[in-house]
Structure 1
Amino acid sequence: MKLSTFLLTILSILLVAVACQNSQKEIPQKDSKKEITNPFKEIEAIYLSNIENCIKNLEATKTALNFIDKDTAYNKVHIQKSQKHYREARNSFKKIEPILAFVDADNYKTLNAPNILKVEEEDATNIKIIEPFGFQVLEELLFLETPQNGNIDKETIKNIQKSADKTLQRLTLISQNTDLSVYKNYHFLWLFRDAIFRVALTGITGFDSPSGISLDDNKTVYEELKNYLTFFENEFEDENMYQEWKNSLQKSIQFLNEDDKTNFENFDRYSFIKNHTEEQIQLWNKTAKDWNIDFPLELAIQNDATSLFSDSTFNLNFFSDQKLGQISKDKIVLGKQLFNDVNLSSNKKMSCATCHNQELAFTDGKKISEGQKRNSPTLTYAALQKGFFHDNRAGSLEGQIVSVINNETEFHTNAEIILKAVKENPVYVKQFSELYPDSVTEQNIRTAMADYIRSFSPFSSKLDRNMNGTENSFTQNEINGFNLFMGKAACATCHFAPLFNGTVPPSFKESEIELIGVPSKNDTINAKIDTDLGRYNVFQTEERKHFFKTPTLRNISKTAPYMHNGVYQTLEEVMDFYNRGGGAGIGIDLEYQTLPTEPLNLSEQEIKDVIAFLKTLDDE
């Protein structure tokens, strides 16, 4: 063979080999995964694009109103165009919600605030009154205050433009200061779970949609979560689990999209939470193990929580202002003894149990507690909130205990006297010495009592057992009641599941106070506001007159009478009050009422169903 022929042959073989290699590279493998170095950078690009779309549509929302004139038909066209662009802007906002709510909670809360005056009270010298703006404000102005037949007034246009401008400025600022590259896999799992919980606990209730257009929002959130998850496909050791997530998220999207369920009043919230949210909690836990995640800390909900409705759901440390040690049975027993000890009060006649009877879900059954000015609130689930007393004046259980000790109408003593009384009791001294390294101290006394109260959160109600799958006994009336509570009756927009108090999920960082217009007497003809000024008495903030904390509804059938002044004796009376529109519905005109003033228009049967559900909140 000639040399030239030999070289050509060798060259041909090499070219064929290279071509084969290239060909093999170009053929996609069935099981190939995306090669992604930093999933958060990929998510950031989508996030910023959604913010850009949100800004663009908010600008268009404003622009459409610039053409309003006196012609009614012409007005209607531009109002509808403005509403259309708002919906598209809101859709983009819901796409950024899972990220924004986690990485920038304060800005998310501001952009998604209700159209009510915001009051921040750090102390008596630092009180801020802030006009709200953002998506809820715009929605209310565009859909509830804007007539469909046109003739929109100039003042409404001005308010829409003003709120839109502030919203645009805040979104632009967020866009310019976004860097998601610092986040880790465990952050993604946290925000992913938060988004699922937010849909279940506030999204499907209409909490942030005053005109009731929120169900589509939840589908948008789930679609975005499904999209985000694709960037973490490589993290799954178990490839079947990734597919399980895709199927689960798609099932939720389909459930939110079914024609017979997408009507706000008809949506089956009970089935959604039980069959979607609760199952996804289980899958989330398996994912954390599959990814071999080592969480650096616990948030409000335990990292290994298997249900929203369980005594192992919440992290008690998150709700305390001090680091809690191990809460043992012996510490709870000690706390119970102190709780029931009348010798700790100045007159030797009062203990904590005087106003908080265990048989009555730790209330006293009286309209106003003896010697006090208000109704005794239940202490069940008291540990799982961020504010204490009817006026939210204490920030911790320990702080509440100190206030009771010092109050001249309650224990009327002080920490030093309490310490002395405990030290003089040899049984107490022995118990404290065995349970606490520094034996009897003022702090240990408070902690023991607080630990006893922390044990009042058993999550053993009929609802809990049905939601977490240990039994299947809910009646159709109870299911209807739950769906009404979480939807049409609007109860869950203030009493948030699963705690059914005013501590806002999924972050649980704030316990809300509300103005609902509670009357001084059970009177619907000549009703007058109760004279108790509530939160106003703490800092004398004018805009906080008659505001009170939203209490838990757990064990509600055992805690009559109701409201801070015990004005209502039955749940039927309470439901009638809310069904009328609160204080506004019985003739009490309050500028800052936070409860929607329109009647709920619940039928007699619907009211019975809500009450049937409320009774499922009683613990065993």
Structure 2
Amino acid sequence: MKIKNLKAIFLYGLLVFLAFGCKDKEEYKEITPLEKLESYFKENLWNASVALDQLNKTKNIEEKKEFFLKARMFFKSSESILAFVDASNYGYLNQPNILKIKEEDFTDVKIDQPAGFQVVEELLYDDEMDSIILNKNVEIISSRLKLIHKNQTLQFLKTHHILWILRDAINRVALTGITGFDSPVLENSLEESKTVYKSLKEILTIYENEFKNKEIYKNWLSQIEISLTFLDSANFEKFDRYTFIKDHTHKALEIWKETVNDWKVEFPFKQAINYEVANLFTNVTFNINYFTDQKGNPVATDKVALGKLLFEDKSLSNDKRISCASCHKQELYFTDGVSKSPKTTRNSPTLFYAALQKGFFHDKRTGSLEGQIVDVVNNPNEFHLSLNDLENRVLENPEYVNAFKNVYQKEIDNHLIRNAITSYIMSLTPFNSKFDLNMQGKEQSLSEREINGFNLFMGKGKCATCHFAPLFNGLVPTQFKESELELIGVPKSKDTIHAVIDDDLGRYNIYKTEERKFFFKTPTVRNIEKTAPYMHNGVYTTLEEIVDFYNKGGAKGLGIELEYQTLPFDKLNLTNKEKEDLVLFMKTLTDKF
């Protein structure tokens, strides 16, 4: 009986083991990297929303600030993933505290009040804090975070997406994170950048098994730790951004390139920044095809040469007295050196790096270089021709007829004419200034004061929150899809005692949007030493005057009240030496040609 009972017990136990053992296998199957990543991502979103809810519950101001900082750090831990998988919601949550205006056409103008962390930061640290408005904005952010937490999945991500997430985050820290772009009041940028780097370590840990060469994985972790230590080396004003980008950002991008090869990833398409580069300051950093609809190589030597001939040809204007080069003289770095170009109301901007933006003319009225050429050709104060007339002028020249056949294997038409001129302009991106050559490691010629000037530009001076490196124009990293318009309040004259705003209404003239009065596109600072006079009306003639204008706080500092001024009202409080260093840095951006 005992043996039979033992057998029965054994059989029963075996059945139980098989039943529950199979169930355990099913319940406790290995979690995939994507599931781990989604769990990490959603946990941070949820914790950010919880901290915001606690902010609203407490009446103690210091506790509110503490919960805000917690929420912000959890948000920054999720930033690299959120910015990639849901750029719209990321942009909403991290937008500047200025009106968001979208002008599609005359019948479709949308004006939205700002919302997000930057708005809450300014409200919370205002001396006259409005609790009702603060609570409302906090609720909006918390609700949005919970909505993303509930609905966003990461299960669609592929290996190449993970690599995009890593590279975007590295570039975002370098080009906006350490500048104070999204922490305008607290200037908590270095702590936030450390949080982002720690999140990259988490992502890499999750994907450790993807590395065939474990040394690359170890190099990642080592470099992140070195970068974290460096981010902890100084406060916001004293931080050495030059060394961080040169020795840390670029090193991380080198390891990223090695990771691409190690993971054997092939990207389905190219982005704004080429995959082959690990330096943000070279003439091959940007993928020029990202900025044009042209097929093939838009800067092929023969196209560029033909475009240059057309660019300098006065016979293509109505009276055959002006060419593109009349207002964009090569010896003047493609400007004309006067306050306002003849028969126009605005200053002639440089064409250096003009191709690397999303919007053209001071008021951003066209979206492409070819559109800009059409505007110049049709303008009665410039070429004053129809596109058909332009085509006929080119057809009259046998040399052009042969050249177009050789270059395009097609007959001349106005589209190809614009295409060729555009190619020439797109070739004007040398990246061979003293600053670039030092960033590339080809020279060690920057002085301590020039480096300090760059650090001021990227930090205390707030310049890089509008003039984003490496182009130092208004093209917003890291998606590079928008060139910003700003209201800084350019005065009519140099009179600082009785200053008045310039008459030019800027962007307002395009769609008549009241909130866009006096808005202009942010130009590049590259080659600024050679492109005076400055501003759209040429009001300032020296870089010292420009720095003084910004140091005072723009229009507000001159006593001009503008409701929608996007430039911070506060004075920068730069010392005389700091102002001099800023000018010294800007002069290092002069290209050689």
- Distance in 2, matches of 1:275 and 1:432, equals 46
Q: Cα deviation per residue 1:366-420 (whole Å; 9 max; x = unaligned)?
A: 0110111000001100000001000011101011111111111111111101111
3-state SS, counterpart of residue 364 of structure 2: coil
Q: CA deviation at 1:257?
A: 1.8
C-alpha contact 1:517 1:546 (8 A) present in aligned 2: yes
1:214 to 164, 169, 189: 189
2:330 pairs with 1:358: yes
Give the 5 Å matches for 1:371-382: 371-382=343-354
Q: Cα deviation per residue 1:135-169 (whole Å; 9 max; x = unaligned)?
A: 000001111x1x3xxxx55xx11111121121122
C-alpha contact 1:332 1:452 (8 A) present in aligned 2: yes
2:548 pairs with 1:595: no
2:80 pairs with 1:98: yes
3-state SS, counterpart of residue 116 of structure 1: coil
Tell me which amino acid in the other structure corresponds to 1:254.
T
- Distance in 2, matches of 1:241 and 1:441, equals 52
1:236 to 197, 208, 211: 211
2:492 pairs with 1:484: no
The match for 1:400 is 372
- Distance in 2, matches of 1:280 and 1:292, equals 18
Give the 5 Å matches for 1:289-368: 289-368=261-340
- Distance in 1, matches of 2:138 and 2:416, equals 52
Q: CA deviation at 1:619?
A: 0.6
> Quick check: 240-249 or 430-439, which moved more?
430-439
Q: Cα deviation per residue 1:186-212 (whole Å; 9 max; x = unaligned)?
A: 111111011001101101000011111
Q: CA deviation at 1:327?
A: 2.6
C-alpha contact 1:110 1:133 (8 A) present in aligned 2: yes
The match for 1:256 is 231
2:256 pairs with 1:281: no
Q: CA deviation at 1:310?
A: 0.5
1:48 to 6, 31, 42: 42
- Distance in 2, matches of 1:483 and 1:588, equals 29
The match for 1:184 is 158
The match for 2:516 is 544
Q: CA deviation at 1:306?
A: 2.5
Tell me the TM-score normalized by structure 1: 0.89
C-alpha contact 2:358 2:483 (8 A) present in aligned 1: yes
- Distance in 2, matches of 1:355 and 1:521, equals 23
- Distance in 1, matches of 2:153 and 2:461, equals 41
3-state SS, counterpart of residue 145 of structure 2: helix
- Distance in 2, matches of 1:171 and 1:595, equals 29
Q: CA deviation at 1:350?
A: 1.0
- Distance in 1, matches of 2:278 and 2:330, equals 29
- Distance in 2, matches of 1:541 and 1:358, equals 36
3-state SS, counterpart of residue 61 of structure 2: helix
Q: Which runs of 5+ in 2 are unaligned?
A: 1-28
2:198 pairs with 1:223: yes
3-state SS, counterpart of residue 111 of structure 2: strand
C-alpha contact 1:278 1:468 (8 A) present in aligned 2: no
Q: Cα deviation per residue 1:430-463 (whole Å; 9 max; x = unaligned)?
A: 1110111323122111110000000100100111
1:140 to 122, 134, 151: 122
C-alpha contact 2:50 2:142 (8 A) present in aligned 1: no
The match for 1:173 is 147
- Distance in 2, matches of 1:321 and 1:367, equals 33
C-alpha contact 1:331 1:448 (8 A) present in aligned 2: yes
C-alpha contact 2:298 2:423 (8 A) present in aligned 1: no
Q: CA deviation at 1:322?
A: 4.5
The alignment's C-alpha RMSD in Å is 1.2
- Distance in 2, matches of 1:276 and 1:52, equals 31
2:551 pairs with 1:579: yes
Tell me which amino acid in the other structure corresponds to 2:477.
P
2:404 pairs with 1:432: yes
2:433 pairs with 1:461: yes
Q: Which runs of 5+ in 1 are unaligned?
A: 1-34, 66-77
Aligned length: 563
C-alpha contact 2:453 2:581 (8 A) present in aligned 1: yes
- Distance in 2, matches of 1:594 and 1:601, equals 18
3-state SS, counterpart of residue 617 of structure 1: coil
C-alpha contact 1:321 1:396 (8 A) present in aligned 2: no
- Distance in 2, matches of 1:227 and 1:423, equals 62
Tell me the TM-score normalized by structure 2: 0.94
1:535 to 507, 513, 516: 507
Give the 5 Å matches for 1:51-200: 51-65=45-59, 78-143=60-125, 145=126, 147=127, 156-200=130-174
3-state SS, counterpart of residue 210 of structure 1: coil
